[in-house]
């Protein structure tokens, strides 16, 4: 019977290991982020500042904006955060101010050269304010750089060190901006000094007839040029439409001028008309320039309004119908217009329409899912102004549905029937790629033209008894208008071969164990004749709510055979440990696995329990008979564990 028991235990251990065992992985510990020391690079920061200033000096506003936007991701000490923010703000101000100052200086040169002092005066005031603000930006950049340098201790570094050179290089670049501002300031002073002598003022009048006209029609402009009440003949006068020169006329003997000009096809409701005289040739340095009071010309034209709508859902890779209606004011005649259609500023088509348009838009297969803009424009034609309208097109994909009954239980080895169909709101999913995974089993296939499929998934033999797994189904459509589908469901995996072997084993145990039990009484009678009767071990584990367990253990197993006494004490200790540690001794646990699970709770007592376990395993799995010394050792270890638990409980 000993051999049979050993075979039985070995089989159970192998069966449980095949069903429940899982590999364990160990990972190297990572560095504690709370204890990691941050590292900052002052050299990199100063060089970044210097390169940014180079872009400012070059007038490259786009590069400066991109570089400064990246500063929010820089690894910087918190204590210089404000200084860095000030540098960013000042740099953005500089890159905007310098080009504006250059443009105003160029305009001032022109005005002063034409003796247009009245127009130059407000520009001088503006330039003075711009220079003052630019100097403030440079000062802030310099302060921010000095604060950053003091934080990193650049003055304690050797003059030839990288950090010292990077710091001083940044300051030199800042001084270049200041020097540029100094040059502009000196130039402004020289320009103003050159026009300080007195000039004779001039006067200019202007009228426009008629005051309202359609685009393309002709209007008459006329006026008079004089100086100190005397007409100026033979002088050129520029006619300005919205500050742009539209024509030039020469004054007659009485200083008068007149011209016919065409209303431009600007399709603006109003045009500001002005007459401009500035001295040249012999008049230069004698007369001041003059600009007539502005006259408003009302411009007439026809406007069209569009309404845009879409029929159906816009799926990626399919077409959607665009409907456009065109409406005009009541006094305008309907004319054929050339319409251009754009999707997100990408030209799609050019079509002609009078009052309505229906057009199919083919949506690209790689279009981004989400909101897009469809633009319809009509170019200008004669008195009809250009028109434009936008509409939001929501491009989407259709969700797939899987017509298939998913199993709750699968049996291995065997086959799993996979029959069903995949479709969406658009139609069947043709030639879709389907991946099925059930635990460690996988199967891949494609759907038919009608979206259906009929497959059989082979489930090969694997070790295991009964366990849970997940059945995952992923569908990847071939059509761009359908989006992928994933489904996951918990299933029960039953190994029929292992379960059958387990049942046969249980049946065999049911036949052989009664035979062993019949033989057991005879052996027990022979043992009772050889030794005095021993007290039976405690039938019920004592409650470990007080110290009554100690008294029960002291009388347990007195006078019995050594083997029974050892097992009696060990059974008592196991019940006490289970109650104390709240750990259940499961059927698949070995004795050592149980001790390992209780080690954290028992602390040092676990060493006594492990020593007791080794003694019990020796008596269980070896042929060596139990001795009185074993019984005494077992009782001593049991009392140590019991006493230790009693102290903890108190």
**In contact, 436 and 419? CB cutoff 8 Å:** no
Please name the residue that has the structure tokens 């049942």.
Answer: 503
Confidence of residue 521 (pLDDT cuts 50, 70, 90): low
Mean pLDDT of 379-405: 90
**In contact, 316 and 481? CB cutoff 8 Å:** yes
* H helices present in 40-116, as ranges: 42-57, 61-69, 81-113
d(CA 265, CA 386): 10
**Does residue 25 have a pLDDT over 80?**
no
**Does residue 555 have a pLDDT over 50?**
no
**In contact, 304 and 319? CB cutoff 8 Å:** no
pLDDT of residue 549: 34
Contacts of 630 (CB under 8 A, 6+ apart): 562, 563, 566, 615, 619
Of 167-171, 214-218, 557-561, 600-604, minimum mean pLDDT range: 557-561
Please name the residue that has the structure tokens 């189904």.
Answer: 473
Contacts of 549 (CB under 8 A, 6+ apart): 542, 543, 576, 642, 645, 646
Mean pLDDT of 503-532: 68
d(CA 417, CA 406): 10
pLDDT of residue 128: 87
d(CA 222, CA 425): 71
**Does residue 493 have a pLDDT over 50?**
yes
* pLDDT tens by residue, 120-153: 778 888 888 889 899 999 989 999 999 998 888 8
What is the DSSP secondary structure assignment for residue 542, as one 8-state letter? Answer: P
pLDDT of residue 547: 34
Confidence of residue 645 (pLDDT cuts 50, 70, 90): confident
**Does residue 60 have a pLDDT over 70?**
yes
Q: Which two tokens stand for residue 474?
A: 């992923």
In this structure, are strands 387-396 and 314-315 parallel, antiparallel, or unpaired? Answer: parallel
Q: What is the pTM assigned to this prediction? A: 0.48
Higher pLDDT, 284 or 272: 272
Mean pLDDT of 477-501: 89
Cα distances from 311 to residues 45, 305, 374, in angstroms, run 56, 20, 14
**Does residue 499 have a pLDDT over 70?**
yes
Angle, helix 162-194 to helix 81-113, in steps of 10 degrees: 30
Q: Which two tokens stand for residue 510?
A: 């049911």
Q: Which two tokens stand for residue 271?
A: 């045009």
* pLDDT tens by residue, 565-595: 888 888 888 888 888 888 877 777 788 888 8
Please name the residue that has the structure tokens 């949506």.
Answer: 363
Mean pLDDT of 334-347: 86
Q: Is 313 exposed, middle or buried (0-12, 13-18, 19+ CB in 10 A)?
A: middle
Measure CA 374 to chain center: 27
Q: How many CB atoms lie within 10 A of CB 456?
A: 12
Confidence of residue 293 (pLDDT cuts 50, 70, 90): very high
What percentage of the chain has pLDDT greater than the value 90? 30
190: left (phi over 0), alpha (psi -120 to 50) or beta: alpha
Confidence of residue 259 (pLDDT cuts 50, 70, 90): very high
pLDDT of residue 558: 45
In this structure, are strands 270-277 and 295-300 parallel, antiparallel, or unpaired? Answer: antiparallel
d(CA 11, CA 13): 5
């Amino acid at each position: 019977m000993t051999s049979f028991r050993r075979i039985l235990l070995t089989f159970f251990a192998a069966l449980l290991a095949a069903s429940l065992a899982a590999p364990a992985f160990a990972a190297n510990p990572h560095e504690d982020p709370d204890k990691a020391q941050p590292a900052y690079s002052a050299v990199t920061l100063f060089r970044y500042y210097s390169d940014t200033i180079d872009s400012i000096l070059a007038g490259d506003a786009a590069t400066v904006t991109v570089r400064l936007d990246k500063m929010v991701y820089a690894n910087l000490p918190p204590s210089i955060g404000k200084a860095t923010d000030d540098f960013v703000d000042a740099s953005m101000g500089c890159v905007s101010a310098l080009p504006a100052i250059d443009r105003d200086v160029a305009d001032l040169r022109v005005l002063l050269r034409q003796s247009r002092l009245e127009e130059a005066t407000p520009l001088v005031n503006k330039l003075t304010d711009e220079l003052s603000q630019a100097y403030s930006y440079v000062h802030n950049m310099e302060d921010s750089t000095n604060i950053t340098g003091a934080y990193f201790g650049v003055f304690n570094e050797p003059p030839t060190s990288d950090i010292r050179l990077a710091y001083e290089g940044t300051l030199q670049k800042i001084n270049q901006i200041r020097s540029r501002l100094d040059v502009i300031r000196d130039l402004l002073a020289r320009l103003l000094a050159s026009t300080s002598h007195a000039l004779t003022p001039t006067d200019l009048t202007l009228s426009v007839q008629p005051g309202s006209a359609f685009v393309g029609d002709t209007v008459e402009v006329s006026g008079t040029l004089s100086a100190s009440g005397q007409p100026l003949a033979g002088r050129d006068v520029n006619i300005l439409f919205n500050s742009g020169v539209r024509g030039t006329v020469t004054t007659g003997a009485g200083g008068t001028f007149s011209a016919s000009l065409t209303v431009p096809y600007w399709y603006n409701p109003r045009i500001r008309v002005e007459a401009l005289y500035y001295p040249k040739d012999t008049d230069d340095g004698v007369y001041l320039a003059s600009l007539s009071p502005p006259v408003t010309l009302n411009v007439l034209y026809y406007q069209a309004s569009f309404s845009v709508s879409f029929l159906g859902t816009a799926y990626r890779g399919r077409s959607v119908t665009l409907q456009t209606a065109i409406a005009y004011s009541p006094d305008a005649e309907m004319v054929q217009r050339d319409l251009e259609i754009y999707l997100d500023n990408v030209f799609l088509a050019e079509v002609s329409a009078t009052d309505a348009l229906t057009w199919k838009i083919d949506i690209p297969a790689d279009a981004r899912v989400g909101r897009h803009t469809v633009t319809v424009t009509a170019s200008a034609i004669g008195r009809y102004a250009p028109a434009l309208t936008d509409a939001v097109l929501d491009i989407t994909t259709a969700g797939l549905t899987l017509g298939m009954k998913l199993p709750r239980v699968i049996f291995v080895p065997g086959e799993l029937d996979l029959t069903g169909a995949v479709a969406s709101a658009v139609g069947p999913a043709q030639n879709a790629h389907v991946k099925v995974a059930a635990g460690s089993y996988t199967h891949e296939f494609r759907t038919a033209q009608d979206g259906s499929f009929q497959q059989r998934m082979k489930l090969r033999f694997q070790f295991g008894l009964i366990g849970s797994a997940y059945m995952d189904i992923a569908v990847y459509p071939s059509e761009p208008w359908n989006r992928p589908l994933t489904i996951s469901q918990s299933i029960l995996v039953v190994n029929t071969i292992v379960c059958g072997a387990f049942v046969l084993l249980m049946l065999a145990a049911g036949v052989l164990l009664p035979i062993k039990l019949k033989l057991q009484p005879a052996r027990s009678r022979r043992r009772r004749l050889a030794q005095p009767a021993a007290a039976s071990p405690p039938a019920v584990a004592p409650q470990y709510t007080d110290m009554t367990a100690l008294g029960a253990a002291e009388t347990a197993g007195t006078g019995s055979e050594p083997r029974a006494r050892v097992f009696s004490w060990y059974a008592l200790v196991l019940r006490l440990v289970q109650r104390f540690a709240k750990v259940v001794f499961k059927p698949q646990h070995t004795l050592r696995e149980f001790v390992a699970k209780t080690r954290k709770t028992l602390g040092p007592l676990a060493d006594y329990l492990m020593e007791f376990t080794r003694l019990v395993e020796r008596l269980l799995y070896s042929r060596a008979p139990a001795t009185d010394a074993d019984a005494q050792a077992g009782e001593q270890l049991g009392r140590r564990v019991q006493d230790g638990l009693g102290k903890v409980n108190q």
